[in-house]
Chains A and B, each alone.
Chain A
Amino acid sequence: MAPTKGSSKGSSKGPSVGGAKGAKSSGLGSAATRVSKSSKKDGPKRPPPKEVKSKPRTVQENLKKKKKRVYTEKELDLPVLNQITPVGVVKPKGKKKGKTFVDDQEGMLTILAMVNAEKEGQIESKIMKARQLEEIHEAKRNEAEARMKERKNKLEGVKDSLRKKKKGGNKESESTSIKETMKPSRGKKKTVAFA
């Protein structure tokens, strides 16, 4: 088992393992390689070894191979929805090319009837919407008015109560207090001084 290992792995393991044979053989081997290297350099010139590269995909040979395997659409069996059919490309057969004129009266009348129906529907819905909005606005306005009235009534109630309080509670002291308050003001005469 061991020699097979040594022989297979080469000279690196040989000396460490320790056989004299192994050491010799390794030495010889190294010499042989050196000689052979020098002989290669000095010997007759050969063309440098060419690297065998895998050819790129763009090479004609590869392309040719691929071209051979082109599937037709039927072979692929694609679902119909998966395909793109541009609007302008596929034209229905047997139809008139170019513009289609409306010259007959019936055609015009049908178009007019459609347009009229559409328009009337629009107008009706607009009027309905406007009426609903109007109702809502009216209700809001009434509510606001009622609120204003209520507030006014409240305010007036408070005012009345205050007046009553003043009249009822201060009847006795009113005359004296007024006199008191008026006296000092009367005593002071307004004077104007010119500098």
Chain B
Amino acid sequence: MRSLTEEETRTLFTKLAVYTGRSLNTLITPAEDGTLSVFRLQGSRVYYVKKDLANLSVSFPRDVLLSMGTMVGKFTKTGKFRLNLTALDLLAQHARYKVWIKSNGVMPLLYGGSVLKAHVARWSAEDAPVNSGVIILDESDNPLGFGVTARGISEMRRLEPTSVVVHRQADTGEYLREEDTLFTT
């Protein structure tokens, strides 16, 4: 387990910034109780861990250590970063754009479907460009997943109710659907 290099940090933050706003600063600054969390790399996976825990991890050999803290995502072999579903909690706290969906859209999403216009209850912003990251929540404010907008929000008003408005990237249904492969290294 090691800390990230400059290049890796930039790649990670660029990806996170798709979904989060300026409040991402709070992730790397110490909390009110003085605890600081850091990003650590183990293999190709990035974990968000409390610093004192991360320091303790030095006592384990790398090949034995499987996981620690919250897994944010992994670096691909081409150097890109893929966000994992487990980062949803982090993202939801600092989301730039949010969409609340009605109860009729929850199950289709959890089975891996996209969000249709008919499912949308409301948007957090008046306008958002196309392909911007958005956190999907149900009506009782539980984060269900994240995705990217298929159209600009202002453009969506003229769409048919059956047209896709958010392309799904990850949803909590994956905990069951991808149970076997979600944490395999």
Contacts and interface: CB of A to CB of B under 8 A. Distances in A.
A126 interface: yes
B130 A115 contact: no
Interface string B33-55: 00010100000000000000000
B155 A116 contact: no
Query: Looking at B3, B13, B25, which has the most chain A CB atoms within 10 Å of its CB?
Result: B13
Contact of B154 (A107, A111, A134): A134
Contacts of A32: none
A112 B28 contact: yes
B93 to A, nearest CB: 16
A119 interface: yes
B5 A99 contact: yes
B6 interface: yes
B17 A119 contact: yes
Interface string B4-21: 111001100110011000
Given A108-B28, A134-B154, A126 B5 contact: no
A105 B28 contact: yes
B127 interface: yes
B86 to A, nearest CB: 21
Contact of A100 (B6, B14, B28, B155): B6
B103 to A, nearest CB: 31
A112 B25 contact: yes
Given A102-B5, A134-B155, A115 B10 contact: yes
B129 interface: yes
Nearest to A99: B5
B154 A130 contact: yes
A122 to B, nearest CB: 9
Nearest to A112: B13
B62 to A, nearest CB: 15
B24 A130 contact: no
Contact of B24 (A99, A107, A116): A116
Contacts of A99: 5
Interface of B: 2-6, 9-10, 13-14, 17-18, 22, 24-25, 28-29, 36, 38, 127-130, 132, 152, 154-155
